[in-house]
């Protein structure tokens, strides 16, 4: 245990009591030991039926693998988004906010069999804190044999990040952009302004956490969503407006008039 961790542990013990100390210590140990199930996870992913149903796919990410790749989503909401995205069988996807890889995994199985999937996350971030390096091999294993997965460990707001995405796209356009990274008002706005021009006409842009809730979970995404939905006429996929967070806002990139 490093010095910082030890002093933090003493702090929790003093301020929050034994029960909370034990709970947090256990959660910490589970997080540190997660990588132990990596070989098992790789095997399960490899043998998961390529053509399994959406329900089986959702069961897999939500209930299997001890939450290793559990998405930060409400099942019914992500299920509806996948149905919508599945209709266009995207060939090029950009996700901002990889975290545990849950949504990336689901998108990879909903995309076309030769899709290019780019997923970006910070090495450390406010909303989930990025991911450990050992997860890279896990995330790479999501790709079907003709798919390509690019993992960017970068701040999506940096000019170089946009350039890297552009370099991968070449002449192509994004079919689907999923914005689930920086949840501050300026952060989500910047992601939208930087990357939505790369989405083809008729492509899909979706935002997570449009339902008002605790700031530490949703940031200011609900406010941003309220503003742009007026303008773009978005669709809202929300299980319950009282659930305090979550919810997905979807807009279809404008189709040029003939
Ligand atoms: C809520 S999590 C994403 C959850 C994931 N989409 C899922 O449901 O499986 C948000 C992630 O965005 C990342 N993030 C925050 N700001 C970012 C930025 N500026 N650029 C890239 N990633 C960022 C965080 O590190 C965090 O891992």
Report the pLDDT value the prediction gives residue 225, as an integer from 0 to 100: 97
Residue 112: CB atoms within 10 Å:
16
How far, in Å, is the centroid of ligand 1 from the Cα of 216? 13
Report the pLDDT value the prediction gives residue 124, as an integer from 0 to 100: 62
pLDDT tens digits along 199-236: 999 999 999 999 999 999 999 999 999 999 988 888 99
Q: What is the Cα–Cα distance from 224 to 227, expressed in whole angstroms?
A: 5
Report the pLDDT value the prediction gives residue 198, as an integer from 0 to 100: 97
Report the pLDDT value the prediction gives residue 133, as an integer from 0 to 100: 86
Closest by Cα among 4, 218, 179, 208 to 94 = 179
> Which regions of the chain are under pLDDT 70?
1-3, 27, 30, 124-129, 255-258
Report the pLDDT value the prediction gives residue 45, as an integer from 0 to 100: 95
What is the atom index within ligand 1 of the atom nearest the CA of 129? 25
Report the pLDDT value the prediction gives residue 91, as an integer from 0 to 100: 98
- Among 65, 98, 191, which residue has the most ligand 1 atoms within 8 Å of its CB, making it the best to mutate? 98
Report the pLDDT value the prediction gives residue 126, as an integer from 0 to 100: 47
What is the atom index within ligand 1 of the atom nearest the CA of 156? 20
Q: What is the Cα–Cα distance from 155 to 122, expressed in whole angstroms?
A: 5
Report the pLDDT value the prediction gives residue 52, as an integer from 0 to 100: 94
Report the pLDDT value the prediction gives residue 257, as an integer from 0 to 100: 41
Contacts 24+ apart (CB under 8 A), 134-138: 134/35, 134/38, 135/100, 135/101, 137/38, 137/42, 138/38, 138/41, 138/42, 138/45, 138/68, 138/69, 138/101
Ligand 1 — pocket residues by CB below 6 A?
71-73, 96-97, 99-100, 102-103, 120-122, 125-130, 155-157, 180-182
């Amino acid at each position: 245990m490093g010095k910082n961790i030890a002093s933090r542990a003493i702090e929790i013990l003093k301020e929050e009591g034994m029960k909370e100390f034990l709970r947090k210590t256990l959660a910490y140990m589970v997080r540190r030991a997660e990588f132990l199930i990596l070989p098992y996870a790789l095997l399960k992913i490899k043998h998961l039926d390529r053509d399994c149903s959406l329900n089986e796919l959702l069961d897999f990410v939500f209930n299997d693998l001890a939450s290793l790749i559990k998405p930060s989503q409400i099942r019914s909401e992500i299920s509806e988004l996948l149905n919508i995205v599945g209709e266009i069988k995207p060939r090029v996807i950009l996700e901002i906010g990889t975290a545990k890889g849950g949504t990336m995994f689901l998108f990879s199985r909903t995309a076309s069999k030769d899709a290019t999937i780019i997923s970006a996350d910070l090495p450390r971030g406010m909303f989930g804190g990025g991911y450990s390096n050992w997860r890279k091999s896990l995330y790479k294993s999501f790709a079907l044999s003709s798919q390509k997965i690019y993992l960017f460990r970068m701040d999506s707001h940096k000019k170089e990040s946009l350039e890297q995405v552009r370099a991968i796209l070449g002449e192509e356009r994004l079919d689907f952009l999923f914005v689930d990274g920086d949840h501050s008002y300026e952060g989500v706005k910047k992601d939208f302004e930087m990357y939505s021009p790369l989405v083809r006409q008729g492509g899909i842009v979706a935002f997570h956490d449009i339902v008002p809730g605790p700031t530490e979970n949703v940031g200011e995404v609900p406010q941003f969503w309220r503003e742009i939905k007026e303008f773009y006429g978005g669709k809202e996929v929300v299980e319950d407006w009282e659930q305090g967070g979550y919810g997905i806002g979807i807009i279809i990139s404008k189709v040029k008039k003939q």
